[in-house]
Chains A and B, each alone.
Chain A
Amino acid sequence: MIPEIGHAALWLAAGLALAQALAGFRADGGRIAVPAALLQGVLCAVAFAALTWAFVKSDFSVALVAGNSHTAKPELYKWTGVWANHEGSMLLWAAVLAVFGALAAIRAKGLGERFRTVMLSAQGFIALGFYAYLLIASNPFARIVPAPIEGSGMNPLLQDPGLAFHPPLLYIGYVGLSVTFSFAVAALLLNRVTPEWARAVKPWVLGAWSFLTAGITLGSFWAYYELGWGGWWFWDPVENASLMPWLAATALFHSVGVLAARGALKNWTLLLAVVAFSLSMVGTFIVRSGLLTSVHAFAVDPERGIFLLVLLAIYVGGALTLYALRAGTVTAGTPFRPVSREGGLVVNNLILSAVLGVVFLGTLYPLFLEAATGEQVSVGPPYFQTALLPLLLPLVAVMAAGPLMRWRAMDWAGLGRRLVPALVLGIAAIGIALALGMRSPLALAGVALSAWLAAASVMIFRGRKLKRVRRIPASVWGTALAHLGIAVTTLGIAVSGAGTIETLANLAPGGRLSAGPYTAQVDDIMPAAGPNYTAIRAMLSVTGPDATIVLAPERRTFVNPGNETTETDIWPRLTGNLYAVLGPGDGSGRWQVRLVWQPMIALIWIGGMMAAFGGLISMMQGRRRREDME
């Protein structure tokens, strides 16, 4: 019964979405659109709760539960298992979309009644497509007769606490960008590309961006400890698919700043607002259609892929057509000098767009080439690292200067004076790194840039009185924290990249191996058992200059479904992580043990979370007048 309630709620939500979409054509449509948006939020919450109930209660008469769950599965994964499959994750997508629609109906009043109605109408169109997708091609509530007594279980790789956070955060980010998209569509239709529009849209971009940042950061950390290879970014198509909307959103909230302050970059900002959510949908399509292969397992279905492609063509094609037709009528804003805060933001957008272009091209290039010439190529980490380096290093360099620049115009000398402490710290950092034995020029550049950016990010507070700390606007705190976070991540990438030491040995109990300052001895290799798996566990006693601990990596063999995973054991600290993996045995009592010392690698994720919080703090600025706009 409860699954039918969920199913009915989805149908009702679809009906309301249709009404909401059509409301934009009526002058008094707001009377329909606003309640329709609010009710959809409630109905989707009901539908999602119904599916959660089916999973938690292991109702195997629901085909989705039977196919993806199991009674012996730990309780947490019965809850998170709701979105660990195609239909459930698309329901989560639609539910987040509905909640954002409801939020937009409540919060987006500043631009007038007409604007809100048209914006909600666009939001309704998007929601309608995803409801149609769920109801026609991907019904999560479909029953199975007869109901099996036991479910077929869940992919063991997904049976991890990471699943509780990574997909929901990522989806909030992806789907949050739909509001920006609808804002852009409404602005194009009503010719309302004004500084007020920019100020109204900015919190939505920042909010979505923060969640996207947190989602990507946690996803990277999850892959790092779960996949057991010690890497944190593989330039895999699925990762790139999440990176592309992030890059567009990053460029967007910076260019929105220029639009809000000067009324300039109107077309460009509109385009970014459309592109950011378009890339979210393109990413979902790429991942779900099997267009590109990826390490990160997803259920792939070509027919559903075609459905998603049609939705994509309608929404993105429609919005870009609207852009091509209407954007030309937008008037230019007030001028500014190249050396100014606005000019800095333009450079930021220039480089971020080039990065986005490279990631997009690199990800799709194998498809292009095969379609054009039949040749098969692979594009992976060596390409992205080499191609992006000449863009990312200058990006980090100029992002230090940006927040220190004055609006409208400033002279080079003034900017130079503000950057002196950053320069001093950057040079000092090179000295320290050299003294500590770092020799790789690239790593030294990374360390120097990190110190330069960190110092400049603190300099954002220059001239502000400590007594009046409460008067400092949230956006200043947010910018400083986010930029500092990027500095911290840069440091983590540079130091861990240059200093990682990996050793591999086939060891019997009693055997030893070393990585960096640590030596591990295999005390024992023994069987172990978990709730739904059996395992082989190695007990490694690790001794180093500062401590002695025990690491216990495992190889797990799951039942229902039968599958093997490697369970790493990591000793994480700020100075570095010691990463232990148990490989296969050689049949004669020796086991492959991999020990990796990764100095300061944790900073990568700490910095990412700092940036995400910085974004949230900036979002709190809300409609308060920006004090620092001078």
Chain B
Amino acid sequence: MTVRRIALVLPLLMFLGFVALAVYRMGEPQQRVIASKMVGKPVPAMDLVGMDELHPGLNDGDLRQGTVTLVNLFASWCAPCRVEAPQLKELADKGVVIHGIAVRDTPENITAFLKDHGDPFRRIGMDPNSKAVLNLGASGLPETFLIDGKGIIRKQYIGQIRPEQVAEILKDIEEAKGS
């Protein structure tokens, strides 16, 4: 008889579980964020062609030189990349080493983009067919990776860097230096 009673209440309990899950999920931000599994691991092997004489290419060795660096994945066709440009400029002005990876882009378009929105980059590697994007486990643009002096990926910032994030990133860089 008790099994029977449980069977009668079970549908209600299952439904309440669904409602709880929905309430929990609705509180989350709408945009799904796919975290890279490369965080905590060494930068994968890569060797990207430079954009022009001012911006030489980028390989994984460049990211193991003892300095903490930011690697920013961007493109001239990416609207949010324009929005985060001032924040990158601010970080660069504060002495942070920033390298760019230009995704599915051409040197002409990037030159125009940097002219309009500022140029925070030391190196710019060209990634014409998203190889580096996939290798880093990035899923969209823009994304920024924080890499420590030994070439270990320490953090991933998904989406555009907002003004209030600058301080947080500077703090993360200090922490990465300590290790």
Q: Tell whether any CB of A sits under 8 Å from a CB of B in the complex.
A: yes
- Tell me how many residue pairs across A and B have CB atoms closer than 8 Å: 55
Near B by CB (< 8 A), chain A positions 281-339 give: 282, 285, 289-291, 293, 300, 302, 305-306, 309, 312-313, 316-317, 320-321, 323-324, 327-328
Contact yes or no, B24 A320, CB < 8 A = no
Contact yes or no, A306 B26, CB < 8 A = yes
Contact yes or no, B34 A376, CB < 8 A = yes
State which of B13-21, B45-53, B155-163 sits at the interface with chain A.
Answer: B13-21
Q: Secondary structure at chain B's binding surface: helix, strand, loop or mixed?
A: helix
Near A by CB (< 8 A), chain B positions 1-60 give: 4-5, 8-9, 11-12, 15-16, 18-19, 21-26, 30, 32, 34-35
- Bound state CA distance, A309 and B23, in angstroms? 8
A298 to chain B, nearest CB (A): 13
Known contacts A289-B26, A300-B30, A376-B35, A309 near B12 by CB under 8 Å: no
- Bound state CA distance, A306 and B26, in angstroms? 8
Contact yes or no, A293 B21, CB < 8 A = no
Contact yes or no, A316 B15, CB < 8 A = yes
Contact yes or no, B11 A320, CB < 8 A = yes
A275 on the interface (CB 8 Å rule)? yes
Known contacts A278-B15, A323-B11, A376-B34, A328 near B4 by CB under 8 Å: yes
Chain A residues lying within 8 Å of B30, measured Cβ to Cβ, are: 290, 300, 302
- Bound state CA distance, A323 and B32, in angstroms? 37
- Bound state CA distance, A9 and B31, in angstroms? 38
Known contacts A323-B11, A324-B9, A312 near B21 by CB under 8 Å: no
Contact of B12 among A285, A293, A323 (CB under 8 A): A323
Contact yes or no, B25 A291, CB < 8 A = yes
A368 on the interface (CB 8 Å rule)? yes
Chain B residues lying within 8 Å of A278, measured Cβ to Cβ, are: 15
A267 on the interface (CB 8 Å rule)? yes
Name the CB-closest residue of A to B10. A324
Contact of A313 among B9, B19, B24 (CB under 8 A): B19
Q: Secondary structure at chain A's binding surface: helix, strand, loop or mixed?
A: helix
B8 to chain A, nearest CB (A): 5
Near B by CB (< 8 A), chain A positions 353-373 give: 364, 367-368, 371
Contact yes or no, B26 A305, CB < 8 A = yes
Near A by CB (< 8 A), chain B positions 143-173 give: none
- Bound state CA distance, A293 and B19, in angstroms? 18
B77 to chain A, nearest CB (A): 15
Name the CB-closest residue of B to A285. B22
Contact yes or no, B19 A312, CB < 8 A = yes
Name the CB-closest residue of A to B33. A376
- Bound state CA distance, A111 and B22, in angstroms? 38
Chain B residues lying within 8 Å of A320, measured Cβ to Cβ, are: 11-12, 15
A617 on the interface (CB 8 Å rule)? no
A456 on the interface (CB 8 Å rule)? no
Name the CB-closest residue of B to A317. B15
Contact of B21 among A271, A275, A324, A367 (CB under 8 A): A367
Near B by CB (< 8 A), chain A positions 457-510 give: none
Contact of B26 among A309, A328, A368 (CB under 8 A): A309
Known contacts A364-B18, A376-B34, A317 near B25 by CB under 8 Å: no
Chain B residues lying within 8 Å of A328, measured Cβ to Cβ, are: 4-5, 8
B5 to chain A, nearest CB (A): 7
Residues of A within 8 A of B (CB): 267, 271, 274-275, 278, 282, 285, 289-291, 293, 300, 302, 305-306, 309, 312-313, 316-317, 320-321, 323-324, 327-328, 364, 367-368, 371, 376
8 closest pairs, A vs B, by CB? Answer: A320-B12, A324-B9, A324-B8, A320-B11, A324-B12, A327-B8, A313-B19, A320-B15
27 CB contacts below 8 A, A to B, read A267-B8, A289-B26, A290-B30, A291-B22, A291-B25, A293-B32, A300-B30, A302-B26, A302-B30, A305-B26, A309-B19, A309-B23, A312-B19, A316-B15, A317-B15, A317-B16, A320-B11, A320-B15, A323-B8, A323-B11, A324-B11, A324-B12, A364-B18, A367-B25, A371-B21, A371-B24, A371-B25
Apart from A309-B26, A320-B11, A323-B8, 13 more pairs, CB < 8 Å: A275-B11, A278-B15, A290-B30, A293-B32, A302-B26, A302-B30, A305-B26, A309-B22, A317-B15, A323-B11, A324-B12, A328-B8, A364-B18
